Structure formats: structure tokens, C-alpha cells
Structure 1
Amino acid sequence: MSTISTRSTTSSPQRPRSLRSLSGCTQDWGDWCRRPLQALYPLLAVSLLPVKVRDAELVDRHLWVAMASDSKGCIDVLGLWLEGTPQGGRSTFAHELFADIRRRGTQSVGVVLSSAAGVQDAARTAWPAAVALPAVAQTVQETVRQVKKYDVPSLERGFKEVFLAANPKDAAVRELALIEGWKRRYPQLDQDIRKGCTALAPGLSLDARVRRAVVSFDAIVAQAMSRFRRAARTSSQFPSSASAMKRMYLICRSSCFPESSDRWDALWYDAQRAFQVQGWACGADCELDASGSST
């Protein structure tokens, strides 16, 4: 049975039990950042969180969080990175982040989810066989900003039905039905729905079972990121970059994350055959070639 865990996939020191143990977690934090990763992750998501840090002066920074599911369905936080001000901007930082993940042992990734600018191109550079998609939940949220709160769940279901369509032709039919269904109430939503569906269209090349796993994995990532956002709001601002990183590290190593999910277990079990067909669950020594097949 698969498990959802933010613990290291290798042996690691015991996690701090209290947020008051901030000063005592330095060594554990360093070991966690440098720990080796698995060679293959079928699913990987990169999310950004704005934080306020006071080093020399108060500045707005972005915390990058990478979460991934291995070939057994175990979900792990691969690392935390605090964005500086690289000359090439966010795209350069994304390349550096993926280079760090590769240095720690990850040679193959199946699907990369992120809506941050430059991340998808950086992912294709690091792993040419990877399918890069925007985060499903964030794509939906960007579309429903003009929608009243009580209509959001229904529109979200409509987007997911398009993404989970049997084939591109079926997806086009569902997209048209979604537009027509909301046209009278929100005439201005037409272009937003088309834009969101177009962004998710590359995912239609994946097996339907993989897409169901992607949607569930994306929801788990969104739930985890809500914990980080709550911590950032509670702290308001951090006295230094180090304190921000350690605070977020303690959040991701605390027991606030679910240890397992029956729904995720069932979806992963159903998707395993599809992952194996695409070469994403065949073992730690499996690599993907440019066509997405195992070598």
C-alpha cells in the first residue's frame, strides 16, 4: 500500500517535535537538504510561496517547494529553496533548482506540474522526456477568479472532466459544453475557459489513469501548500533568510501532513500499470528516452 509522507526516503535524523526547537534543527536541516533522492519520480510538482524576509532590509522573496511521488506512490518533499535575485530571473532559478535535484540523484521524471513562469521549459531541459503541465488546481483558480464563490466547485468539476476526457475529441466536446453551460451567467468567462483548457491540453496525451493520479496528486500538493501559506501568514515576516527556511522546514517535517490516503492508494494502484507502460515505475535504474519509453 502506498503512503503519503514528507519524510526522507532514506534514513534521516529524528524530526524536531516542537516549533520551539528552531535553533536545534540546524544540523538536521543541513542533512535533509543534502540527502540523496531516488533516481525516478513519476510525478513532480514545483510550487512558489511569497514570503517577507528582513535581511539588510525587508524584501519580498519566493520560497520554492518541490514535492514528488516515487514509483511506489510515496509522496515526499524533495526540498525547499529561497529565491534570490539571479541575473536570468525566475527561469534561471528554475534551472538551478532542477540541476540540484539531478545532482542529488534524480535522473528521470515523468510529469512535472507547475504554473510558475519558466519552470516548464527548465523541466524539459533537465528531463527531455518529461511531460510539463501547469498545476491543475492553480489553472482552475486563475480561471474562476471572476466567478462567485458558490459557483466555483461546479466549474472546477467541469475543468476536471475536460482534463479526464477519453481523447482530444471528447475533450473538445466537453470544453464546448462547459463554455455553453456558463455563457449565460458569465459571458466574459469564455476566453478564460478556453485558455485554461488549452494550457491543460498536453496532458491529454497521457493515459486516463495517469491523469486521474495527476489530479489527485495536484490536490495533495495544494493541501500541503496551504500549510506553508498559513505559516507564512502567521509569521508575517521573517528576521532572516535562514529563519524562514528553518521555519518552513519544521512545517514540512511536522506531523501536520497526512500519513496516508485511501483515495490516493486506490488511484495509484489503478495507475501503476499505466506508469509501467510509460516506463515510470520500472525501478530506480530505469531511465526515459526522448520518446518517453524505458531504456
Structure 2
Amino acid sequence: MQRRTILTKSTAVLVGLMCSSMVRAQDLKPYLRARPLICAHRGWTSPAGTENSLTQMRQTHQAGPFMMEIDLAKTADGTIMLMHDREVDRVTTGHGLFSALTDARIATLRLRNGHGTPRDPVPTYDKVLQWAAATPDALLMLDIKDVSPHDALQPVQQRGLSERIVVLTFKKQQAREAFAADPKALISVLVTQPQDLEAYAGMAAGRQFAAYIPQNSPPSLFQAAHAKGAVIITDLLGPTAIMDAVSPSEGAHRAHFLPIDILVTNTPLKLRAALAHQL
């Protein structure tokens, strides 16, 4: 079957899921048939937006469908909220270490958009999960950073969202804890060489996992991960991750020739247009 036919059918699958008259929660698997599933890095449609903002995520979702990548961090009071940087200076109206600020202090801050304009409050993780639970086609990619897998995944399980998320891990111990924390969640592990696939396949013990493969890896590594049955994730991000280093057209070209299931980008609308151009 030619790639053009596959993409056309995948688009139909995705539209069908979005437009179904029976509004019900969907797990991740049907969306992966519309390969590649586009993931909006930090939940925005472009770096001009507001990262890790619930308002922005709602707008991105309406413009989608896209998966949302978000970053988790804990406040001084132990509340999980959305924040990428250790310090709040770059993205908010405040200053200092996020982990040193109380919930009350963070409530006074506003997230800045890409132009530096103050916009939205810093959202709690609970509010984001509440939105996702009420939005049947919302899909989340969790960069849990220093939040333990147990703490990140317990509220996911409580809201019945385990099969609609991907959990990013980048170290073996973190991955091991994530596998143990939720038997239904899709756990992503960093794969930079074929030996990593063997190690994580053993850790997963027959359970499907996701292989996050760096964008400049050889095609053989993508093929090896595909042969293992892994969900393959890669990205178009640049060194700072705020901008893409790979153009939408080149990203679409790579998705045409490589078995990429989820493609993370800062410009999901442009990537979607580039993928559609190949139809």
C-alpha cells in the first residue's frame, strides 16, 4: 500500500474520531493509526503563544487535533503545576526558583507569551487533568522532570486518563519507576543505540513502550525500534527547544520515510500543513 493511501485513510480515521456523534473518551491507540500524531510542544501552536498555559492548550486543542506536551514541577507546598524552567523569571511576571515559591505566591504570577506580554495564571496539574478528563479527545505527553512517576501518575489513574497519556522518562531508574507506577500508561524511554532497545524491552516485560529517538539518529535505529513494536517518538526541536531546528517540510519528509508515530514540534499547524501537502 502506498504512503499516500495510508495517509489518506489515517486522516479519515482521525476525522472520524473527532466528529463521532458518540462523544466518549478515546485511548491513544486509534490516534496512532493516523501516523504521525502531531504533538504540540509546551501546548502551544507557535513560540509566539504562552507555554504550559491551560488557556493556550484549549486554543491549541480547538485548532488540532494535537497531543499536548506539558512540563510538571512542584511548588514549595508540594503542589504539582505546569512549569518548564527551574526559575520562573523567563516565562512569568515573577522571580526565583519555582520550587521555592508557595502556591499563594505563584497564584499572583502571570505567564508571559512569546512577546513578553503577561497572560494567564500558572495552571495546576489538577486543573489540566480536569480539563483533559472532560475533553474526550485530549491527549497528553507528560515531561515529569523532578516529579516522581508515582506522584505524576496517581492523579492520572484517579481520573481514568492512563490510556490517553505518554510519560517521558530519560533515565533508567525513572523509567523503571514509571512502569511500576501505572500499568496502563505508555512509558517513553530515551533510545540512542540498539542496546537501549534490548534493555528497555526487558524492563517492559512484554508491555508496549515508546522509544524517544533523537532526531539525528540513523534510520536503522528507527527501523530497529519499529521492529521491536515500540511506539516511536522524535521531534523537530532546536537546542533551546523553544524553536524548531527542523523545518515543517523536512519534518514531513522524515515522517514519509521513517516509522514515526508521534512527532513533537513547536509549530504543529505548519507541520500539519506540510504533511497534508504530501497527500
When normalised by structure 2's length, the TM-score is 0.36
Q: Relative contact order (alpha carbons < 8 A, sep ≥ 6): 1 or 2 greater?
A: 1
When normalised by structure 1's length, the TM-score is 0.35
Radius of gyration: which is bigger? Answer: 1
